[in-house]
Structure 1
Amino acid sequence: MKIKEVEIKKFRSIEELSINAGNLVSLVGKNNYGKTAIFDAIQVFFQKKKLLDKDIHMFSIKELPEISITFENVSDIDIQLLLGRSYDLEYAKSLNGVIKINLSFTEGQFKAKYFLEPKNIQIPTRTLLELLPDIKYVSSIRNPEDNTFSKKNSNLRELMDLLIRNNDTTDETITIQGKELKIKDIKTELKKSEDSKVSTLSKELSTKFQNLVGHQALSIEIKVENTEIIHSHETKIKDHDILNLNSDNNSFDIQTSGTGMQSLLIIAILEAYIEHNTGDQDFILIIEEPEVYLHPSLQRKIVNILKEISTSNQIFISTHSPIVVSQLKPKELVCIKKEKGITKKIVSDPVSIINELGIKPDDIFQHSKILFVEGPDDKKLISSLINKLVTTQEISAEKADILKIVDIGGIDTLSFYTNARILDAMNHAHLTHYNFWIMVDSDGNSKEEVRTQIDKNLQEFSKIYKEENLFILEEYAIESYFIDENILCELFDTLDIEKTKELCNKYHTIYQDAKINRLQSGKGSFQNKYKPKNFFLNKENIFYEKTWGLSIEEIKTIQEVQRQWKTSNIDHYIELLPLNVLESTRLNEIISHIKTIFDKID
């Protein structure tokens, strides 16, 4: 279940406003324009916040707020539970998994009432809340007074809970007095013990109750609804520069540190979540100004992390950072402004956003030949391969200096649009002196799908865009090219060549099978489970066992790869590998494209 549309009426500075939501939504606007009001309205709908007097639009109690959210991908069972006695099979089928739920309030106590539109069927609040996706919220103001780790709903506690809960598994085992026990079996035994206790208590209470009412027609029954093992966690930062590591004096609560330090921990938590995520999740993450007090390089990093999480979950952010916005697609942006105290949505066309936020092009003015790539790792790999070709005299050093490689985060981002506008203007002034190429991963799509989307994005720049200058790679991402026994065994001599070959072949087979069936399973699920990055991330054994079907021996091999692999060392790996080895692997595809580009450079 995910949000498709949010409609807000009469809430704070919002008179009436609607937002279409994809997997990633970014609210863009200046301070005090109403971004927080939109997020708070969503939280009120999910009952994470209560409606207060200050939330009433223009403080007029004549018209109380209304918040409507349209959900898609709603299962038939969830629809049946929501409709309850009003359930009608034909009507349920006609919804096609899309429902619109309206939240309104009664005067006085602001009692919340939920209705399924358009039939105005009232939905029990408890039933709805049990079915809604989990929602996590991180405010832009992260201070010790409001958000200590000890508080139930603090910013960082919400994220830590997400990480720890995701890391829990009922298949986990512990050893007690030499006997291995599963956690789920321990819970079962605990429940049996508690059932026995409450059964005795039920009989005792029933006897006393029946004596009081004077008959035995009624009795008291106590049941154990659920048995959980609950852990309470405390998270601190330990300063290893302080000599006495056994003392509590060298550790401190993260919330007593600055906002910048907290933002770094948020990045670390989200990175850890990606590594530990073993399957499809269903939560909504709201982060106000994720870029707060972060260096520009870390702003780009957190955007990339949020993009990755959004393949299987829904992300809402607010920002007025040119760096963050430049990494996003225009369709992911919702631009708002205030007119006479009223928050309004405005047209978010690329030109107006670029002008409003001052998004700047990369340093391309001194270069007439430019290669656009999608990410920093792509740039590092291609630069390293060019250096290798220069070293082996496949291309000249002079030509290599002419080509500028620019990482723009994606061909459909505002960063690329900004650079393309500059190239278009310079080409017009210098009579086609400038030329550019594009090299992109397939991201699990077919080449035709990628080409169609890029052609659509570049319609405005038809005078400078040449179709033959577009290189769409066969593989999902650059990590795919390193899933090769010849490369891995050349780099890491502890690997067994036959076991590594078997593992690499198995990955490529399950990837291709999953790619064929990605429409049935869903693109987000396919990307989350089978992306090549999972080959190098240290995920839980259960992920590789259940999702990829790896044996214990294959899991040991992949863990040996992960123990030694570092994506940040890609340039070093290319330097170590002989050119003939590189050309004998899938990397020859990229090498061939590079040679084609330099053949066209005079």
Structure 2
Amino acid sequence: MYLKSLKVENWQCIEYTKPIFENLMLFIGPTNNGKSSIISAIMFFLGYRNLRTKDIRNLDLPLELEGIFQNFSQANYKNLKDFIYKKELTLKIQKFPNYDVQYKIKINRDWKTITEETYREIISHIPILYIPPFQDKKQINFLVNSLFEILKRRNISETLMISSLKKLANSLQNDYVSKGLYRNLLFEIFRSISEESQKRNHSIIGNTIVFFEEPELYLHPQAEKELYNAFIQLSNLGAQLYISTHSSNFISLKHYKSICIMRKHKDFGSRAFQFKGRLFSGDEVKYFNMNYWINPDRSELFFAKKVILVEGQTDKIVLGYLAKKLGIYKYNYSILECGSKSIIPQFIKLLNAFKIPYVAIYDKDNHYWRTELEIENSNDKNRSIQRAINFKFGDFIEFENDIEEELYNEKRERKNYKNKPFYALKTVSEEDYIIPARLKEKIEKIYK
């Protein structure tokens, strides 16, 4: 069976949130914004860890976790059919001030109190593997034993791959394993599990939930991408992988439904931000995917405190350079080159969906040498950008008519637009270059 949603109230830094789960979950967000809190809440709900006093955010209020399970195997359904209602099984854990923990199950539309033993028997149908950023010898042994117990229960036969897996696992249990080697051995293990699962066309670890914190540690970028692909393949074949990461190599716009951004609010605690609807339709999908594959580093937008959307290379290079010159550059702001003005509304749509702050910067393109038709076409695109913006957390800035005219503080001839990034950077990097007041004001607005 599979965990499909979990309501979390009064847990650690979380006042209230309710994430919806995919087989592959990618928990991202700044440090100390709730990634570990949401993972620990899930693990407690699934019986993997005990309740600690510090887990309760406000001791004067009740703690409540309520989860819904779906997609049962035949064996699960047979064992749990008395608890399944409309293809769902719903469990709840409550802890009221000065009272013991209560376990409940929803039968039809009514809640029934059950014992902790009954609760643990129900959730035991989901095996768990937990991989923290660093492990001691005892934790490594527990991980290895848990993995092979899962394979044993699933009657995975002795194959060349399993023998290889055991050798890797034995290496992890050596008296001394460096942190880098430890992480690379884990990488090899998951790559092997994924490859064998693809051969069999099903996950050899079944519906196991793998909690993997910071899988990118000690891996070079190419290995990160390969490990992420292994995660995707495993999740497609039935495993559940809950990944906490700071690396954009584990983020793909194609799998945006897997992304869960944790953000902390000073008054309301941490919350999960997701988007489960349909972002694009028709040709938008094709053009956006093509645009993304040309620049896969654009996944970093999900990690940014604010995203600066620009049309092309000149804007990206020059704006960053001038912001540093003015002393207002911020590394947690990402400048994202969209490729063209036409693509900016699609990125805005994505940022709106995840409520990521942004500013869209575009050229007005009303140069005196343009034809009437070109100007009208440009104005249509400008209006489409403005209409797409959610002004609760987004804004726009319009260059008159483009960044080159802003840089040189003069109208530019059509012939002056060859090798734009090179000449623009050459100009602004000269010692005697003075940023025009109008451009300076716009850059300060961008980085406010």
TM-score normalized by structure 1? Answer: 0.42
**Structure 2 partner of 1:52:** 52
Q: 1:235 to 1:145 in 2, by over 3 A?
A: closer
Residue 309 (str. 1) matches residue 234 (str. 2): yes
**Structure 1 partner of 2:398:** none
Which of 121, 140, 146 is equivalent to 1:158?
146
Q: 1:339 to 1:164 in 2, by over 3 A?
A: same
Q: Distance in 1 between matches of 2:217 and 2:93?
A: 32
Question: Are the aligned partners of 1:144 and 1:256 in contact in 2 as well (CA < 8 Å)?
Answer: no
| Aligned positions of 1:403-552 closer than 5 A | 421-424=338-341
Q: Distance in 1 between matches of 2:138 and 2:266?
A: 31
Matched AA of 2:179: T
**1:33-70 CA distance string (max 9 Å, x none):** 11111111111112111111111113x1x323211111
The Cα shift of 1:114 comes to 2.6
Q: Distance in 1 between matches of 2:308 and 2:221?
A: 13
| Aligned positions of 1:31-430 closer than 5 A | 31-58=31-58, 60=59, 62-74=60-72, 78=76, 81-82=79-80, 84=82, 95-105=85-95, 110-116=100-106, 118-132=109-123, 133-144=125-136, 147-149=139-141, 154-163=142-151, 166=154, 168-169=156-157, 235-237=169-171, 253-254=173-174, 256-277=176-197, 278=200, 279=202, 281-311=206-236, 312-326=238-252, 329-340=255-266, 342-346=269-273, 353-354=301-302, 356=304, 421-424=338-341
Question: Are the aligned partners of 1:139 and 1:155 in contact in 2 as well (CA < 8 Å)?
Answer: yes
Question: Are the aligned partners of 1:322 and 1:358 in contact in 2 as well (CA < 8 Å)?
Answer: no
Q: 1:360 to 1:2 in 2, by over 3 A?
A: farther
Matched AA of 1:57: R
Q: Distance in 2 between matches of 1:286 and 1:365?
A: 39
Question: Are the aligned partners of 2:65 and 2:92 in contact in 1 as well (CA < 8 Å)?
Answer: yes
**1:254-278 CA distance string (max 9 Å, x none):** 5732332222111211122234344
The Cα shift of 1:299 comes to 0.9
The Cα shift of 1:32 comes to 1.5
The Cα shift of 1:82 comes to 4.4
Gaps of 5+ in 2: 160-165, 280-297, 315-334, 345-361, 366-383, 386-448
Q: 1:104 to 1:77 in 2, by over 3 A?
A: farther
What number of residue pairs does the alignment pair up? 292
The Cα shift of 1:324 comes to 1.6
Question: Are the aligned partners of 2:129 and 2:208 in contact in 1 as well (CA < 8 Å)?
Answer: no
Q: 1:262 to 1:165 in 2, by over 3 A?
A: farther
Gaps of 5+ in 1: 174-231, 238-251, 367-417, 432-458, 461-602
Q: Distance in 1 between matches of 2:175 and 2:104?
A: 37
Segment of structure 1 superposing worse, 36-45 or 107-116: 107-116
Pair member with larger Rg:
1
- The percentage of counterpart residues that share the same residue type is 20
Q: Distance in 1 between matches of 2:265 and 2:343?
A: 37
Question: Are the aligned partners of 1:254 and 1:261 in contact in 2 as well (CA < 8 Å)?
Answer: no
Q: Distance in 2 between matches of 1:54 and 1:322?
A: 31
TM-score normalized by structure 2? Answer: 0.55
Q: 1:301 to 1:68 in 2, by over 3 A?
A: same
Cα RMSD of the aligned pairs, angstroms, is 4.1
The Cα shift of 1:351 comes to 9.2
Question: Are the aligned partners of 2:48 and 2:128 in contact in 1 as well (CA < 8 Å)?
Answer: no
Q: 1:359 to 1:323 in 2, by over 3 A?
A: farther
